Amino acid sequence: MSSDHYFSATPSSSYTPRTIHVTLQGRAVELTTAGGTFSPERLDAGTAVLLNNVPTPAPGGNLLDIGCGWGPITLSLAMASPHATVWAVDVNERSLDLTRQNAESLGLDNVRVCKPDEVPDDIVFRTIWSNPPIRVGKDELHSLLRRWLPRLDERSDAWLVVARNLGSDSLQRWLDATLDSTFTTSRHATSKGYRVLRVRKHGSPSTDTLDLA
């Protein structure tokens, strides 16, 4: 049995690509996945809930997908906002290769695929979409979110999908307790056992929390 996890940096299993058919941004596409990545057989249910419950992303600027896997969130962002730069980050080298390959196959030249440390420190994000890697463990997950959420631009939102039975409500409480007073966290949507959390970074003066869906 393989000891690979989708958050392994270098999967030890052999690279055996497969083709799947999914619909992203209303467009039927053919993409490549492989074992050693997150949900290689299909579009994950949580990711589908996220994509069905987020507002249209900003038309420009920098957008971020935390834990891109083989790329469905990244590709959706890039298709919705062709004039924005979409940063796809992951620690899994196979995931990065697949996201890069899938973006190229769809002609999406606004995608930047890289490891977390390769994202320039001075970049802030107009939005973040993520199905975060809950199974890395609470400490690693919290470290991941503390790293990226403060890099939201003012008056911008992060959208996170988390299964209720994997701690979505406790994560919301942790975010409220951990992020500084320029942030608010709210429950945006509930569907099929998942919560979509909205993390809003306010401006100065503070902006009201508005539902943009």
Query: CA-to-CA distance for 2 and 169, rounded, in angstroms?
Result: 32
pTM attached to this predicted model: 0.90
| pLDDT at residue 212 greater than cutoff 60 | no
pLDDT of residue 14: 76
Q: What is the DSSP string of 37-86?
A: SSSTTS--HHHHHHHHSSPPPPSSSEEEEES-TTSHHHHHHHHH-TTSEE
Regarding predicted confidence, which is higher, 13 or 152?
Answer: 152
Query: CA-to-CA distance for 75 and 81, rounded, in angstroms?
Result: 10
Burial annotation 150-173 (CB, 10 A radius, 16+ → b, else e): ebbbeebbbbbbbbeeebbeebbe
pLDDT of residue 2: 39
pLDDT of residue 5: 47
DSSP for residue 8? -
pLDDT of residue 80: 98
Which residue is it, tokens 């409220």? 176
**Residue 160, strand partner residues:** 130, 197
Q: Do 190 and 168 contact (CB within 8 A), yes or no?
A: no
| pLDDT at residue 204 greater than cutoff 90 | no
Closest CA to 95 of 208, 26, 193, 15: 15
pLDDT tens for each residue of 133-151: 998 889 999 999 999 999 9
